[in-house]
Structure 1
Amino acid sequence: MTEEMKKTEELDRKKRVILIGRSTAGKTTLCQKINNEELRYHKTQTVQIINKNMIDTPGEYLERTSYRGALVVTSTEADVILLVQDATEEGTMFPPMFNSMFAKPCVGVVTKADLADEAQVERAKKYLKNAGAGELYVTSAVTGEGVKELVDTLHLL
């Protein structure tokens, strides 16, 4: 088997995920951390494919209900839906049972855990559970908390 065929086979085994969350929830930063890139803020303007297995979406697709159809269409390319919730956010953009829009497993990811207290993290987890997320991961792109577990469970690398 050639090296190219091995790489193709490896990519085929990786799960493809779509990250959905409001603007500044930490979707892009989480992608950067997973890929061991330098953490730098940049506003995602369009759907971006990262490493052939992560689909990073603009927050506006969730924030504006008229754009949510774009999430459904884009999600057809994914195996797993990642609902991303900032732990420090007072509210959520995910309506109850948001997962019912997708015929895929939904995983909840709490971000910015390093900036939040325990009550804030628990509130974020509750938002994600109400949205229909199954498994939950509490993460910090700055400290790395929870990122390895997320990557290992979803076979992202």
Structure 2
Amino acid sequence: MENREKKRIMLVGRSTAGKTTLCQRISRRDLAYHKTQTVQVINQTMIDTPGEYLERRSFRGALMVTSVEADYVVFVQSATEEGTMFPPSYNSQFAKPVLGVVTKSDIAAQEQIEKAKKYLHMAGAKTVFVTSSVTGEGVDALMAYLGYEQAEE
């Protein structure tokens, strides 16, 4: 592995977008759904935020405050979700680079995946990864981009 540090990421997305499951996949943990109630730091490198922080405008300030601790903000959009919670150019709210991650690609049609990618690009994510935490699709590419080549311990 190159001599570069793993980047600390903050995952933002609506409830059931797949943020926690993606963290579990990156950490090589068993996938088990649980509702994230508060901001959680996983392996010192991933900040998992509750979906309500995006869904309720009055909580969005908490995302901006929390993002101070991150190297990247990651917008997480489920391919199976109709519509999006990310406003256009939402990336401008953060003083950090923004990545996009489409989740649940294993249970979505290609048209749904393309629409999710479009939502993320409109929100300001320049780089977008298409992933499935169940099959692992796209997760290795995301991990390599962030410097997570080795399994998270």
Q: Decide: shared fold, TM above 0.5.
A: yes
Write the distance in 2 (CA, Å) between the matches of 1:154 and 1:13: 9
Residues 81-135 of structure 1 show CA distances to partners (whole Å, capped at 9, x for unaligned) of 1000000001100000000000111000000000101000000000000000010
The one-letter code of the counterpart of 1:18 is M
Find out whether 1:102 has 2:94 as its counterpart: yes
Candidates 42, 64, 77, aligned match of 1:72: 64
Write the distance in 1 (CA, Å) between the matches of 2:6 and 2:128: 20
TM-score (norm 2): 0.94
Counterpart for residue 19 of structure 2: 27
Candidates 98, 123, 127, aligned match of 2:115: 123
Structure 2, unaligned stretches of length 5 or more?
none
Aligned residue-pair number: 147
Moved segments of 4+, more than 6 Å: none
Counterpart for residue 141 of structure 1: 133
- Structure number with higher helix proportion: 1
Counterpart for residue 7 of structure 1: none
Candidates 28, 32, 46, aligned match of 1:54: 46
Structure 1, unaligned stretches of length 5 or more?
1-9
**3-state SS, counterpart of residue 13 of structure 1:** coil
TM-score (norm 1): 0.92
CA drift at 1:27: 0.1
The one-letter code of the counterpart of 1:28 is T
Write the distance in 2 (CA, Å) between the matches of 1:134 and 1:44: 27
Indicate the structure (1 or 2) with the bigger Cα radius of gyration: 1
**Aligned alpha-carbon RMSD (Å):** 1.1
Identity of aligned residues (%): 65
CA drift at 1:67: 0.2
